[in-house]
Chains A and B, each alone.
Chain A
């Protein structure tokens, strides 16, 4: 048959799921490189562990489900999930933590719901939440950013820490890990030290840079750049990141103005933790996000609100995963009530 399809249209713009996923992976590169630069080889090791686990798990389920293994693996969605998950996990997370999170993401969050296109929740974030709740101590193994750490870890040392929990050279674990800036501020606020005091204190000031945390601000900046490239090529919808960042800025600004001592600035929030990764790569996961134009504004703003609430008053240091999954739950409702005005229908 020369006209491949049974019915019109017989033309296609040549886009494909594979090319979308591939471009998402490309866009993750600058931010990932920055993360490796600032937080060490652990980031790369995590990505590799997660990628292998995710692909193997996906292949296994596809074999069980008697689906086309080769083409489905090539669609790249499992690899994207693996990268997002690995970038969210602490760089020195033990290998089994990454494996558990990856398995949960692919097996439970993705394939038990029917595979690509049918998962109501973002698989990477579900995997993250599972290990976050189950292994809170390990989830704090954030390496101190380059320049602050007392000693730099070599690639081999990193491998050893991740796979065995200690190094042969006997590097003190506490000397290489450190609480994240968001976490630090929260803890200090709990001790009634206001934001500015913490940032100026001799103990914590090395953690902070002009905008947010050392390293963190650059990682966020590079993810922002990759995200803008994706939005420009219309791989992701621009509304979700816009709405998310705008809402986060407005909310954070409101509280910072209201009480400067207890609340960090909007800029700090936007360039801290997983904000940019969430804005352009996690919240924009098309499968689990809202699909209506108006719905996407609500969805993005909802995540921002939840992120801010969890960061400021919740029990977890960063609230991205919870915020995204909570808004995933709301998606069917949002989509139903934000249907666009159909051509020719009376204006509501």
Chain B
């Protein structure tokens, strides 16, 4: 019992937060049921934060259960696996649960109902003798991502450097959602086994299991599971039920009284936070060699007859889950994936359950979900209720003011990017302004501008380089021209250059003269000439001269 009798640490508080009506008892009346196998599964290739994998299979190919379907070499990525054995009937774009509503690449498997698993070799307790890097690769290859909702590839977070505390987060602060609660109640030992593996990987000195105090059964179950731990390595910590204490940064603040610095990760202050569902998935990988191909999903709200938790294979149509729980005749296409505070409306039940689908919240017109009635909202009256409840201690009314004015510089100045979009501000706003919507819009606008700015920067650099090159070419050409022109201008004055030619001519003439002399062309045998001869010669000379003159 030593684990439970740990000295109760005084808990810190984060600013603001809300006490919400949790509606959790709706879906905790029955044990987790297993949804029967379906005919067809639609598996989106991208189900995590990061890069999508490359598809490893082809249409028509037979795959075994647990076989890897897509994988990426990129670090920030997670593979996906076949939830059943069967045939790939199509690979292409299908609607997926995503706020954008855009279709994405999916692999369609037709189930052959043979439950034909790939060969499995669970490592079991031997995991504790395997180097952490190998275990991390196993977790990565099993396609495990954060199951709390974010879907961040788990292995990346599990660094061995300087992490002292592992928080296994079972807070689940959103109303209606109970999948973590039920998992802790029913599979506490498995969660502990998975947590121990994580603790081994990151060399944690303590593992704290945090649970909100509105889940006494889960607290009891987890405490029972760690009862034989006499080292004090494990500790169950009940925390007050205040939304959003399930947020990573909030729970760290509550339990350890440490603030994760803005723009940093818990790793930076020596903490790793993992969802209980993630710990359970790691247990399945280590002890059953199963990749992440199923999860527990809360099907709840007043649009189903028997709200409950289901163990559902990834890729199952949501409609199948709803029908299993019993739907009402009037067709209801409004489904929120996630909780009422941070989830998003899918507007369709013909979408597949994915790794991060923790809850499907249905609704009826006679719902007790208190909602604003009108679509239009009143102006902000600056009452400051949002300031009082903001867990990031922001000034939501100022963020709203500047987002509305599209003064994005000021919005960033007021720390828009520290907003965790928990929705507390919009929940209490008497003017019923959809504040979070404004912040999401402002964020995406700023990202878009940033991207455009970067592109413009690159384009500008390219343009400038191009201009510089043109400039240089022009300068070179001008320089050459200038030299030529100068040379031309210099020629008349530059006698030396002309002399070379003249001298050459003179020299040539001189050479000819010299040659003439050498040849001795002077008249010969003219010494003893008679008078007649002399007259003849003179006459000839005279004619030659005359003819010469005529010629010239």
User: Roughly how many angstroms separate A20 CA and B437 CA in the complex, as a whole number?
Assistant: 24
User: Roughly how many angstroms separate A11 CA and B436 CA in the complex, as a whole number?
Assistant: 13
User: Roughly how many angstroms separate A340 CA and B16 CA in the complex, as a whole number?
Assistant: 12
Contact with B along A114-128 (1 / 0, CB 8 A): 011110000000000
Contacting residues, chain B, for A292 (C-beta < 8 A) = 384, 387, 395
Residues in A lying within 8 Å of B, measured CB to CB: 1-17, 19-20, 75, 77, 115-118, 234, 237, 286-287, 289, 291-293, 296, 335, 339-346
Q: Decide yes or no whether B146 CB sits under 8 A from chain A.
A: no
**Which of A286, A289, A344 contacts B261, CB < 8 Å?**
A344
Q: Assess whether B341 is in contact with A11, with CB atoms less than 8 Å apart.
A: yes
Contacting residues, chain B, for A286 (C-beta < 8 A) = 381-384
Q: Assess whether B340 is in contact with A342, with CB atoms less than 8 Å apart.
A: no
Contacting residues, chain B, for A8 (C-beta < 8 A) = 336, 338-345, 423, 436
Q: Determine the residue in chain B with the shortest Cβ distance to A1.
A: B334
Q: Determine the residue in chain A with the shortest Cβ distance to B176.
A: A11
Q: Which 7 A-B pairs have the closest CB atoms?
A: A117-B379, A9-B423, A344-B262, A286-B383, A2-B334, A15-B430, A2-B363
Contacting residues, chain B, for A118 (C-beta < 8 A) = 379
**Which of A2, A9, A17, A289 contacts B427, CB < 8 Å?**
A9
Interface residue total, chain B, C-beta cutoff 8 A: 68
Residues in B lying within 8 Å of A, measured CB to CB: 14-15, 20, 99, 175, 249, 253, 259-264, 303, 332, 334, 336, 338-345, 361, 363-365, 367, 369-375, 378-385, 387, 391-395, 397-398, 414-415, 418, 423, 426-432, 434, 436-437, 440
Q: Assess whether A19 is in contact with B430, with CB atoms less than 8 Å apart.
A: yes
Q: Determine the residue in chain B with the shortest Cβ distance to A15.
A: B430
Q: Which of B264, B364, B382 has the most CB of A within 10 A?
A: B382
**Which of A7, A17, A341 contacts B430, CB < 8 Å?**
A17
Q: Assess whether A4 is in contact with B415, with CB atoms less than 8 Å apart.
A: no
Q: Assess whether A345 is in contact with B336, with CB atoms less than 8 Å apart.
A: no
Q: Assess whether A12 is in contact with B378, with CB atoms less than 8 Å apart.
A: no
Q: Assess whether A287 is in contact with B437, with CB atoms less than 8 Å apart.
A: no
Q: Assess whether A342 is in contact with B262, with CB atoms less than 8 Å apart.
A: yes
Q: Determine the residue in chain A with the shortest Cβ distance to B334.
A: A2
User: Roughly how many angstroms separate A3 CA and B369 CA in the complex, as a whole number?
Assistant: 9
CB distance from A243 to the nearest CB of B (A): 14
Q: Assess whether A3 is in contact with B391, with CB atoms less than 8 Å apart.
A: no
Q: Assess whether B379 is in contact with A345, with CB atoms less than 8 Å apart.
A: no
Q: Assess whether B383 is in contact with A20, with CB atoms less than 8 Å apart.
A: yes
User: Roughly how many angstroms separate A292 CA and B390 CA in the complex, as a whole number?
Assistant: 12
State the main secondary structure of chain A at its contact with B. Answer: loop
User: Roughly how many angstroms separate A115 CA and B381 CA in the complex, as a whole number?
Assistant: 10
> Contacts A11-B371, A12-B427, A17-B381 given: A6-B393 contact, CB under 8 Å?
no
Q: List 7 A-B contacts (CB under 8 A).
A: A2-B332, A115-B379, A237-B383, A341-B393, A343-B392, A344-B259, A344-B264
Contacting residues, chain B, for A2 (C-beta < 8 A) = 303, 332, 334, 363-365, 367
User: Roughly how many angstroms separate A340 CA and B383 CA in the complex, as a whole number?
Assistant: 16
CB distance from A337 to the nearest CB of B (A): 12
Q: Assess whether B430 is in contact with A340, with CB atoms less than 8 Å apart.
A: no
Contacting residues, chain A, for B375 (C-beta < 8 A) = 4-5
Q: Assess whether A3 is in contact with B363, with CB atoms less than 8 Å apart.
A: yes
> Contacts A335-B398, A344-B249, A345-B262 given: A16-B434 contact, CB under 8 Å?
no
Contacting residues, chain B, for A291 (C-beta < 8 A) = 382-384, 387, 395, 397-398
Q: Assess whether A13 is in contact with B427, with CB atoms less than 8 Å apart.
A: yes
CB distance from B129 to the nearest CB of A (A): 38
**Which of B20, B260, B364, B374 contacts A344, CB < 8 Å?**
B260
Contacting residues, chain B, for A6 (C-beta < 8 A) = 345, 434, 437
Q: Assess whether A345 is in contact with B418, with CB atoms less than 8 Å apart.
A: yes
User: Roughly how many angstroms separate A143 CA and B383 CA in the complex, as a whole number?
Assistant: 36
User: Roughly how many angstroms separate A80 CA and B432 CA in the complex, as a whole number?
Assistant: 20
Contacting residues, chain A, for B430 (C-beta < 8 A) = 15-17, 19-20
CB distance from B179 to the nearest CB of A (A): 18
User: Roughly how many angstroms separate A8 CA and B342 CA in the complex, as a whole number?
Assistant: 5
Q: Assess whether A13 is in contact with B428, with CB atoms less than 8 Å apart.
A: yes
CB distance from A70 to the nearest CB of B (A): 13
Q: Determine the residue in chain B with the shortest Cβ distance to A7.
A: B437
Contacting residues, chain B, for A3 (C-beta < 8 A) = 334, 336, 345, 363, 371
**Which of B15, B175, B397, B437 contacts A343, CB < 8 Å?**
B15
Contacting residues, chain A, for B339 (C-beta < 8 A) = 8
CB distance from B24 to the nearest CB of A (A): 14
Q: Determine the residue in chain A with the shortest Cβ distance to B425.
A: A9
Q: Assess whether B334 is in contact with A9, with CB atoms less than 8 Å apart.
A: no
Contacting residues, chain A, for B385 (C-beta < 8 A) = 15, 234
CB distance from B393 to the nearest CB of A (A): 5
Contacting residues, chain B, for A9 (C-beta < 8 A) = 340-342, 423, 426-427, 436
Contacting residues, chain A, for B397 (C-beta < 8 A) = 291
User: Roughly how many angstroms separate A2 CA and B335 CA in the complex, as a whole number?
Assistant: 9
Q: Assess whether A10 is in contact with B371, with CB atoms less than 8 Å apart.
A: yes
CB distance from A118 to the nearest CB of B (A): 7
User: Roughly how many angstroms separate A115 CA and B379 CA in the complex, as a whole number?
Assistant: 9
CB distance from B375 to the nearest CB of A (A): 7
Q: Determine the residue in chain B with the shortest Cβ distance to A75.
A: B378
Contacting residues, chain B, for A14 (C-beta < 8 A) = 370
Contacting residues, chain A, for B378 (C-beta < 8 A) = 17, 75, 116-117
**Which of B259, B340, B364 contacts A11, CB < 8 Å?**
B340
